[in-house]
Each structure stands twice: as structure tokens, then as C-alpha cells.
Amino acid sequence: MVTFLGSIVLLVAGYATYSKLVEKIFGINDSIPTPAYTENDGMDYAPMSWWKGSLIQLLNIAGLGPIFGAIMGALYGPVAFIWIVAGSIFAGAVHDYFSGMLSLRHKGEQFPSIVGRYLGKPAKTAINIFSILLMVLVAAAFTAGPAQLISSLTPLSFMASLFIIFAYFILAAVLPVNRIIGKIYPFLGAILIFMAVSIAVALLFSEKSIPNVTLSNYHPGELPIWPLLMVTISCGAISGFHSTQSPIVSRTLKKESDGRKVFYGAMIGEGIIALIWAAAGMTFFGGTGGLQEALAAGGPAGVVNEISSSLLGTFGGILAIFGVIILPITTGDTALRSSRMMLAESLSSFMKIDGRWKVVITTLPVALPTLYLATIDYSFLWRYVGWTNQVTAAVMLWTATMYLLKNKKFHWICGVPALFMTGVVSTYIFYAPEGFQMDYQLSMIIGSVITLAIAVWYVYQIIKHRQLGKNSTSLTAA
């Protein structure tokens, strides 16, 4: 219990201290008009208060991610606490802050366009395809899951449930941001927080003892912590999906100083939610062995329902069902909205249509494959979401690193976590079942070689930008 409470304190302290350092290094300027005013179109650009933006951002980036992912990550034991705390403060929140603020500085640009600015056009083209694929996979996965649950609880068939959810997705993707997202999502974000806090309080006052942190691996299947834990718990530590969602809210901020509260703050809030559910997962069932049995019997949704019903009674069961249905839907619809915005931005030089027709035309090409993928195996979709998600996170961190390098700022705050995540995804793809399924030691060697190569590139970029700085200084002096 001491570790659990201490971890929450560390997350709050990280927001109170490290976020201010990150903000200072970025260099905010409240005198610069934000895109919410300069680009106001009544559709995607519209000014909102920071507290609304924070709750919308939390709901967009979270959904069921910090619940399901944290419960699966709890199989590794209390070491998950270390990853959630360190990942959130030094990687995830930094990633989210820069993805939001760089979008803000460039008229609300989408993630691929920001990548293109700092990593070059080839990187932009590759990440554009990669990001839209990730959005489609997330939207499909977060359609299929709720549809399965609705069909099991009501007379509706799976396909009928699927079409109802998807009709809402289309509506939310094409309506102005302040119609549904701006009005309903702050309320749903508050429910997400209330659900987690209720579980935390009930857990603390129960007779169950939350384990203290150790570096030991308690996974019943003896799966290695590195790099599997870092992919299993993404939402709640660091998630590339967030960099695709931040531009939605960056287009609504009234001033640059709101960015720390909205982007960094929402990630810390997600970290606390993940911490609570990880603690519940490894505590409620008497250890990781019991948790594994519960997951085998009912999956993450069944685990959430059992924990909520037992700790909070009938109300908790209703809250759990509501959460498992509503929360993924609110992530899936913003994923579809993001993919629509990315496609529109990438085709802006070819497409001269403006207004509602442009929104409709760019929604259909991403909506149709999403609907098809939602009809196939949910677990298949989710396996591929994990790796593509963390590759996106690494790319965003490298983008932020290059921004800092080019502007002669302290680049290490992004460069170090970028190297770390490069190591994670480089090793994971060779070892994982959805990857090349190689021997663990061989995967470690290949992953290390790739990471070392990227590190050499990073050092070269540092030397290159220092030399450019010296040359510019010499020219100025001359």
C-alpha cells in the first residue's frame, strides 16, 4: 500500500515540478493568438475553456486503455507501478505536451505534418500511412468490443449493435467539435475519473493488501518484462495514439499556457487511473495467478465488472458496464475524426472543396475499412494496435527532439525517452507473436543493434546542429 500511495504522490509531484520545466524549455508565449481564434471555422477550430479541454483530452486519450492495459500489465506484478510512474512523468506526458504544443504552434496541424516539418518529407509520407492505419485499427477495435458486450446484454445482434455504434461514430466525426465532443465529453471524462477514484477508495478500505514494489517478475506465464510490459501498458505510461488526438484539442485552446494543464495534466491523470486499476488487478484476485485465471475466464471486461461489482456493489456493476461500453466508443469516434482530419490535411493540395462536403468526402475512405475490420476477430486487431501505437510514440518523441535541437533548446528531455522507446519497439517486433516470433535473446541483440544505430544518428544530429550554430554565429559576427 505504501508503494501505491507513494506512486500517486510522485505522479502529482511530477506534474507540479517536471511539467513546469518542460513548459519552460518549450517556451510558451501567451501573446501569440492560438489557432482557435486565427483559424476559427466553427467545425474543428473553436475556443474552449482549459478545463473542458483537459477532460476532453483525458477521455480521448484514455477510454479503456488505462483500464484494460493496466489490468493486463498487472500480471507482471508491482514492477508495473515503476513503469506507470516513470513512463508517465518522463515519457508519456512529455510526448503529449510536445504533440499538442507543436500542433498549436503550427495552426493545429496533424501529427504527420508535424513529423514532416522536423524529420523530413519521406518520414511524413510513411507516418501518414502508419497513423491513419493506427486510427482505423483503434476505431475498429473500439467498435467491436462494445458491440460484443451490447449484443450479450440486449436482444440486439452483434451486427445491429455494430451499425448503431458506427452511425454514432460518423455523426461525431462530421459534426463541429463543440456539438457533441465539447458538450458531452467533459461529463464522460468526469465519470472516468469518478470510476477510478471510487475503486481506489474502496480498495484502500478493503481488507486486501496492495503489494509493495519490487523488481521481480510475477508473470504466471514467465513472459519477460522488457519489452512486453512497455507495450502492454501504453495508455497510462506512453501511447503514440495520444499524438494523433492532441491536435483535436490544440485547435480549441485559448492560450499557450493552457497546454501544460491540458496535455501534460491529462497524461498524469491517465497515469493515476492506470495505477489504480493495476493495483486493483494485482490485489483483488490474491496475486497474479488469480488475475490470470480471471482474465482467462472473462477477459479484461469481466475482470473490470467483477472488481467493480464486488467493491462498489450494484452501482459499481452498472458503472462498469457503462464504462466498458461508453469509454471505448468515445475513443473510437475521435480516432475516426483524427483519421478524417489527417486525410484532409494530406490531400489539401489536391482537394479544393471546402466546408461540409470536404468533411464527408474525407470521412468515407477511413470509415468503410474501419467498419469492415470491426467485423473480424477483436483480439487480432488489438495485437497490432500495441506495436503500431508505440512506434508512433517513438516517432513523435524524435520529432520533438529535432524541434528542440533546431531551436537550440535542451533536447535531452525528449531524446532520452525517444531512445528508450526505440529500444522497446525494435526488440518487441522481433520477439512478439504478431511480429517475427524470434528467440528472446536474438530479439534483444537485434533490438540493441537498431537502437545503437539510431543513437549514432542522434549524436550525428547533435554535432551537425552545433556546427550549424557555430557557422551562423560566425556569419553574424562577420
Q: What is the pLDDT of residues 133-154, one digit of tens each?
A: 888 887 887 777 788 778 877 8
Does residue 435 lie in a domain region?
Answer: no
Confidence (pLDDT) at 475: 47
DSSP structure string for 68-136 = IIHHHHGGG-THHHHHHHHHIIIIIHHHHHHHHHHHHHTTT--HHHHHHHHH-HHHHHHHHHHHHHHHH
Please say if the pLDDT value at position 96 is more than 80.
yes
Helices 288-346 + 356-373 axis angle, to 10: 150
15-29, 103-117, 312-326, 434-448: segment of lowest average pLDDT: 312-326
Provide the CATH number for the domain around residue 123: 1.20.1740.10
Confidence (pLDDT) at 62: 79
Helices 93-105 + 412-431 axis angle, to 10: 120
Does residue 151 lie in a domain region?
Answer: yes
> Rounded distance, CA 406 to CA 408, Å?
6
Q: What would the mean pLDDT of 333-340 be, rounded to a whole number?
A: 80
pTM score of the predicted model: 0.90
> Considering its fold, how many domains does the chain have in total?
1
Please say if the pLDDT value at position 274 is more than 90.
yes
Does residue 23 lie in a domain region?
Answer: yes
Does residue 449 lie in a domain region?
Answer: no
Report pLDDT digits (tens) over 339-394: 877 887 777 666 555 556 566 677 777 778 888 887 876 566 666 778 888 999 99
Does residue 82 lie in a domain region?
Answer: yes
Does residue 38 lie in a domain region?
Answer: yes
- Give the distance, in angstroms, between the CA of residue 406 and the centroid of all CA atoms in the same chain: 26
Report pLDDT digits (tens) over 231-257: 999 989 999 989 988 999 999 999 999
Confidence (pLDDT) at 426: 97
109-123, 165-179, 300-314: segment of lowest average pLDDT: 165-179
28-37, 55-64, 136-145, 262-271: segment of lowest average pLDDT: 136-145
Confidence (pLDDT) at 428: 96
Report pLDDT digits (tens) over 288-323: 999 999 999 888 878 888 888 888 888 887 877 777
Does residue 430 lie in a domain region?
Answer: no
Q: What would the mean pLDDT of 100-120 be, rounded to a whole number?
A: 94
Higher-confidence residue of 129 and 320: namely 129
114-128, 163-177, 429-443, 464-478: segment of lowest average pLDDT: 464-478
Confidence (pLDDT) at 382: 64
Which three-class secondary structure state does DSSP give residue 246? helix
Q: What's the domain range around 91?
A: 2-384
Q: What residues have CB less than 8 Å from 374, skipping those under 6 apart? A: 139, 140, 141, 143, 144, 147, 162, 166
Does residue 316 lie in a domain region?
Answer: yes
